[in-house]
Structure 1
Amino acid sequence: MNTKLKCSNCGAEITNLNFGFGKWNWLWMLVGFLPLLFVFWTFWQPKGDYRKDLVVTVVHTRVAPDNINVLAKIRNEGKHDWQSVEVLAELYGKDGQFLTQQPQSINGALQPGEERQFRFVFYPPSGEPLSTPPKIVLKPVQAHHFAF
Protein backbone atom coordinates (compact mmCIF):
# COMPACT_ATOMS: atom_id res chain seq x y z
CA MET A 1 0.00 0.00 0.00
CA ASN A 2 1.59 3.21 -1.18
CA THR A 3 0.40 6.41 0.28
CA LYS A 4 0.11 9.14 -2.29
CA LEU A 5 0.58 12.72 -1.30
CA LYS A 6 -1.50 15.40 -2.94
CA CYS A 7 -0.98 19.09 -2.95
CA SER A 8 -3.50 20.79 -0.73
CA ASN A 9 -3.59 23.80 -3.04
CA CYS A 10 -4.02 22.36 -6.51
CA GLY A 11 -4.67 18.63 -5.90
CA ALA A 12 -1.71 17.40 -7.99
CA GLU A 13 0.12 14.25 -6.91
CA ILE A 14 3.49 14.83 -5.21
CA THR A 15 6.14 12.37 -6.41
CA ASN A 16 9.27 13.76 -4.76
CA LEU A 17 9.49 15.06 -1.25
CA ASN A 18 12.63 16.95 -0.24
CA PHE A 19 13.47 18.20 3.20
CA GLY A 20 15.95 21.03 3.50
CA PHE A 21 17.55 23.09 6.18
CA GLY A 22 17.03 26.77 6.56
CA LYS A 23 19.70 29.30 5.86
CA TRP A 24 21.09 29.43 9.43
CA ASN A 25 20.37 25.91 10.72
CA TRP A 26 24.01 24.85 10.18
CA LEU A 27 24.91 26.96 13.23
CA TRP A 28 23.42 24.27 15.47
CA MET A 29 26.30 22.02 14.41
CA LEU A 30 28.68 24.34 16.30
CA VAL A 31 27.00 23.41 19.57
CA GLY A 32 28.39 19.89 19.16
CA PHE A 33 31.81 20.94 17.88
CA LEU A 34 32.66 23.60 20.47
CA PRO A 35 33.21 21.12 23.35
CA LEU A 36 35.29 18.94 21.03
CA LEU A 37 37.45 21.91 20.03
CA PHE A 38 37.92 22.84 23.69
CA VAL A 39 39.17 19.33 24.55
CA PHE A 40 41.66 19.36 21.67
CA TRP A 41 42.86 22.83 22.66
CA THR A 42 43.59 21.71 26.23
CA PHE A 43 45.61 18.75 24.96
CA TRP A 44 47.82 20.79 22.65
CA GLN A 45 48.43 23.90 24.69
CA PRO A 46 51.96 24.27 26.10
CA LYS A 47 52.41 22.34 29.34
CA GLY A 48 55.58 23.98 30.61
CA ASP A 49 59.23 23.13 30.20
CA TYR A 50 60.66 20.52 32.56
CA ARG A 51 64.19 21.84 31.95
CA LYS A 52 63.17 25.15 33.52
CA ASP A 53 60.89 23.71 36.22
CA LEU A 54 63.18 20.97 37.57
CA VAL A 55 66.35 22.06 39.37
CA VAL A 56 68.95 19.37 40.13
CA THR A 57 71.84 20.03 42.53
CA VAL A 58 74.63 18.00 44.12
CA VAL A 59 74.28 17.73 47.90
CA HIS A 60 77.31 15.62 48.77
CA THR A 61 80.10 13.81 46.92
CA ARG A 62 82.17 11.04 48.48
CA VAL A 63 85.20 9.70 46.63
CA ALA A 64 86.32 6.19 47.55
CA PRO A 65 89.17 4.28 45.89
CA ASP A 66 86.81 2.11 43.86
CA ASN A 67 83.70 4.30 43.39
CA ILE A 68 82.20 7.76 43.66
CA ASN A 69 78.97 8.28 45.60
CA VAL A 70 76.94 11.34 44.70
CA LEU A 71 73.95 12.43 46.75
CA ALA A 72 71.76 14.83 44.78
CA LYS A 73 68.39 16.49 45.11
CA ILE A 74 65.77 17.53 42.60
CA ARG A 75 63.23 20.27 43.21
CA ASN A 76 60.14 21.10 41.18
CA GLU A 77 59.99 24.89 41.02
CA GLY A 78 57.26 25.00 38.38
CA LYS A 79 53.48 24.86 38.61
CA HIS A 80 53.02 21.46 36.91
CA ASP A 81 53.48 18.01 38.38
CA TRP A 82 56.10 15.98 36.52
CA GLN A 83 56.14 12.19 36.22
CA SER A 84 58.72 9.72 34.92
CA VAL A 85 61.59 12.11 35.57
CA GLU A 86 65.01 11.01 34.34
CA VAL A 87 68.21 12.76 35.41
CA LEU A 88 71.54 12.36 33.62
CA ALA A 89 74.78 12.71 35.58
CA GLU A 90 77.97 13.42 33.65
CA LEU A 91 81.37 12.91 35.24
CA TYR A 92 84.36 14.99 34.13
CA GLY A 93 87.99 14.55 35.15
CA LYS A 94 90.26 17.18 36.69
CA ASP A 95 91.44 18.36 33.26
CA GLY A 96 87.85 18.69 31.97
CA GLN A 97 87.77 15.52 29.91
CA PHE A 98 84.54 13.54 29.85
CA LEU A 99 84.78 10.28 31.83
CA THR A 100 81.32 8.71 31.96
CA GLN A 101 77.61 9.37 32.29
CA GLN A 102 74.78 7.61 34.06
CA PRO A 103 70.99 8.06 33.91
CA GLN A 104 68.78 7.82 36.99
CA SER A 105 64.99 7.50 37.01
CA ILE A 106 62.93 9.05 39.78
CA ASN A 107 59.76 7.14 40.59
CA GLY A 108 56.43 8.80 41.18
CA ALA A 109 55.30 12.33 40.48
CA LEU A 110 57.06 15.50 41.56
CA GLN A 111 54.41 17.94 42.76
CA PRO A 112 55.05 21.70 42.58
CA GLY A 113 57.45 22.69 45.36
CA GLU A 114 58.38 19.07 46.16
CA GLU A 115 62.01 18.08 46.70
CA ARG A 116 63.51 14.57 46.57
CA GLN A 117 66.96 13.18 47.15
CA PHE A 118 68.53 10.39 45.13
CA ARG A 119 71.92 8.74 44.77
CA PHE A 120 74.33 7.98 41.96
CA VAL A 121 77.19 5.50 42.27
CA PHE A 122 79.93 5.86 39.68
CA TYR A 123 82.68 3.37 39.02
CA PRO A 124 85.66 4.96 37.25
CA PRO A 125 85.79 3.64 33.68
CA SER A 126 89.55 3.35 33.62
CA GLY A 127 89.70 1.35 36.85
CA GLU A 128 92.30 3.65 38.37
CA PRO A 129 91.45 5.38 41.66
CA LEU A 130 90.53 9.05 41.66
CA SER A 131 92.39 11.19 44.16
CA THR A 132 90.44 14.43 43.67
CA PRO A 133 86.67 14.83 43.44
CA PRO A 134 85.65 15.03 39.78
CA LYS A 135 83.32 17.63 38.30
CA ILE A 136 79.73 16.34 38.21
CA VAL A 137 77.06 17.87 35.97
CA LEU A 138 73.43 16.93 36.64
CA LYS A 139 70.58 17.74 34.28
CA PRO A 140 67.02 16.53 33.75
CA VAL A 141 66.70 14.85 30.36
CA GLN A 142 63.12 13.59 30.39
CA ALA A 143 59.85 14.25 32.22
CA HIS A 144 56.15 13.99 31.41
CA HIS A 145 53.13 16.05 32.42
CA PHE A 146 49.65 14.61 31.98
CA ALA A 147 46.78 17.10 31.82
CA PHE A 148 44.18 14.70 33.20
Structure 2
Amino acid sequence: TKIKINDEKEKRDYGAGVQTDHSRKTIQQYKEMNLKVEMYWKKGSQTVNSKKTQEISGRVLATFGLQCLKKAIKTKVVLTEETEENKDRLDPFVVLILQSFKTYHNPIVVTSLTLITQIVHLSLPSFKQNLIKFLNKIFKLFELSQ
Protein backbone atom coordinates (compact mmCIF):
# COMPACT_ATOMS: atom_id res chain seq x y z
CA THR A 1 0.00 0.00 0.00
CA LYS A 2 1.12 3.52 -0.72
CA ILE A 3 1.28 5.97 2.16
CA LYS A 4 0.79 9.65 1.60
CA ILE A 5 3.54 11.69 3.19
CA ASN A 6 1.24 14.47 4.37
CA ASP A 7 -1.25 12.24 6.19
CA GLU A 8 0.59 12.22 9.52
CA LYS A 9 1.37 15.93 9.32
CA GLU A 10 -2.26 16.75 8.53
CA LYS A 11 -3.48 14.64 11.41
CA ARG A 12 -0.99 16.26 13.79
CA ASP A 13 -1.58 19.86 12.66
CA TYR A 14 -5.32 19.93 12.17
CA GLY A 15 -6.56 16.96 14.12
CA ALA A 16 -8.29 15.73 10.98
CA GLY A 17 -8.54 12.07 10.29
CA VAL A 18 -7.62 10.65 6.93
CA GLN A 19 -10.65 10.31 4.69
CA THR A 20 -10.97 6.66 3.75
CA ASP A 21 -14.43 6.91 2.18
CA HIS A 22 -13.60 6.49 -1.48
CA SER A 23 -16.76 4.63 -2.44
CA ARG A 24 -18.57 5.49 -5.64
CA LYS A 25 -21.57 7.73 -5.33
CA THR A 26 -24.77 7.14 -7.19
CA ILE A 27 -26.20 9.65 -9.65
CA GLN A 28 -28.90 10.51 -7.11
CA GLN A 29 -26.27 11.32 -4.46
CA TYR A 30 -24.40 13.60 -6.89
CA LYS A 31 -27.63 15.42 -7.73
CA GLU A 32 -28.38 15.95 -4.05
CA MET A 33 -24.86 17.18 -3.40
CA ASN A 34 -24.83 19.67 -6.27
CA LEU A 35 -28.28 21.20 -5.84
CA LYS A 36 -27.60 22.37 -2.30
CA VAL A 37 -25.45 25.45 -2.07
CA GLU A 38 -23.33 25.42 1.05
CA MET A 39 -20.38 27.61 1.88
CA TYR A 40 -17.48 26.26 3.88
CA TRP A 41 -14.19 27.88 4.73
CA LYS A 42 -11.28 25.52 4.43
CA LYS A 43 -8.16 25.35 6.54
CA GLY A 44 -5.85 23.12 4.58
CA SER A 45 -8.03 20.20 3.60
CA GLN A 46 -10.19 20.41 6.72
CA THR A 47 -13.52 22.24 6.55
CA VAL A 48 -14.22 24.67 9.36
CA ASN A 49 -17.40 24.10 11.37
CA SER A 50 -20.59 26.00 10.56
CA LYS A 51 -20.40 28.35 13.57
CA LYS A 52 -16.92 29.49 12.59
CA THR A 53 -18.03 29.79 8.95
CA GLN A 54 -20.90 32.06 9.98
CA GLU A 55 -18.54 34.19 12.05
CA ILE A 56 -16.03 34.57 9.22
CA SER A 57 -18.76 35.23 6.65
CA GLY A 58 -20.31 37.83 8.93
CA ARG A 59 -16.99 39.60 9.34
CA VAL A 60 -16.38 39.64 5.60
CA LEU A 61 -19.87 40.96 4.85
CA ALA A 62 -19.71 43.56 7.64
CA THR A 63 -16.35 44.83 6.43
CA PHE A 64 -17.61 45.03 2.86
CA GLY A 65 -20.82 46.83 3.86
CA LEU A 66 -18.99 49.38 5.99
CA GLN A 67 -16.47 50.02 3.23
CA CYS A 68 -19.29 50.56 0.72
CA LEU A 69 -20.97 53.05 3.06
CA LYS A 70 -17.65 54.80 3.62
CA LYS A 71 -17.05 55.06 -0.12
CA ALA A 72 -20.58 56.34 -0.75
CA ILE A 73 -20.25 59.06 1.90
CA LYS A 74 -16.73 59.97 0.84
CA THR A 75 -17.60 60.39 -2.84
CA LYS A 76 -20.80 62.27 -1.94
CA VAL A 77 -22.97 59.66 -3.67
CA VAL A 78 -25.31 59.52 -0.69
CA LEU A 79 -25.16 63.24 0.05
CA THR A 80 -25.60 64.80 -3.37
CA GLU A 81 -27.72 67.49 -1.76
CA GLU A 82 -27.80 68.51 1.87
CA THR A 83 -31.46 67.60 2.32
CA GLU A 84 -33.29 66.20 5.29
CA GLU A 85 -34.37 63.20 3.22
CA ASN A 86 -30.80 62.05 2.68
CA LYS A 87 -29.96 62.60 6.33
CA ASP A 88 -32.98 60.50 7.27
CA ARG A 89 -31.63 57.72 5.05
CA LEU A 90 -28.27 57.79 6.81
CA ASP A 91 -29.73 57.98 10.31
CA PRO A 92 -30.36 54.19 10.79
CA PHE A 93 -26.75 53.41 9.88
CA VAL A 94 -25.47 55.28 12.94
CA VAL A 95 -26.81 52.57 15.27
CA LEU A 96 -25.24 49.88 13.05
CA ILE A 97 -21.88 51.64 13.22
CA LEU A 98 -22.18 51.73 17.01
CA GLN A 99 -22.95 47.99 17.05
CA SER A 100 -19.92 47.29 14.88
CA PHE A 101 -17.68 48.18 17.83
CA LYS A 102 -18.82 44.99 19.59
CA THR A 103 -16.39 43.03 17.48
CA TYR A 104 -12.69 43.62 17.82
CA HIS A 105 -11.98 42.64 14.22
CA ASN A 106 -9.51 45.32 13.07
CA PRO A 107 -10.89 46.12 9.59
CA ILE A 108 -14.39 46.59 11.00
CA VAL A 109 -13.23 48.86 13.83
CA VAL A 110 -10.97 50.96 11.60
CA THR A 111 -13.68 51.43 8.97
CA SER A 112 -16.18 52.33 11.70
CA LEU A 113 -13.82 54.97 13.08
CA THR A 114 -13.36 56.53 9.65
CA LEU A 115 -17.14 56.53 9.15
CA ILE A 116 -17.56 58.35 12.45
CA THR A 117 -15.18 61.08 11.30
CA GLN A 118 -17.25 61.52 8.13
CA ILE A 119 -20.61 61.47 9.92
CA VAL A 120 -19.76 63.90 12.73
CA HIS A 121 -20.31 67.04 10.66
CA LEU A 122 -23.70 65.89 9.33
CA SER A 123 -25.44 66.45 12.70
CA LEU A 124 -27.61 63.35 12.46
CA PRO A 125 -30.20 63.00 15.25
CA SER A 126 -29.27 59.44 16.23
CA PHE A 127 -25.58 60.40 16.33
CA LYS A 128 -26.39 63.16 18.81
CA GLN A 129 -28.37 60.70 20.93
CA ASN A 130 -25.62 58.06 20.89
CA LEU A 131 -22.64 60.39 21.19
CA ILE A 132 -21.80 59.31 24.75
CA LYS A 133 -21.95 55.64 23.73
CA PHE A 134 -19.59 56.34 20.82
CA LEU A 135 -17.15 58.12 23.11
CA ASN A 136 -17.26 55.26 25.63
CA LYS A 137 -16.50 52.73 22.88
CA ILE A 138 -13.61 54.83 21.56
CA PHE A 139 -12.11 55.27 25.04
CA LYS A 140 -12.48 51.54 25.64
CA LEU A 141 -10.47 50.92 22.45
CA PHE A 142 -7.73 53.21 23.73
CA GLU A 143 -7.67 51.35 27.07
CA LEU A 144 -7.31 48.02 25.30
CA SER A 145 -4.49 49.27 23.11
CA GLN A 146 -2.30 50.18 26.10
- TM-score norm. by structure 2 comes to 0.27
Rg comparison, structure with higher value: 1
Give the structure with the larger helix fraction: 2
Give the structure with the larger strand fraction: 1
- TM-score norm. by structure 1 comes to 0.27
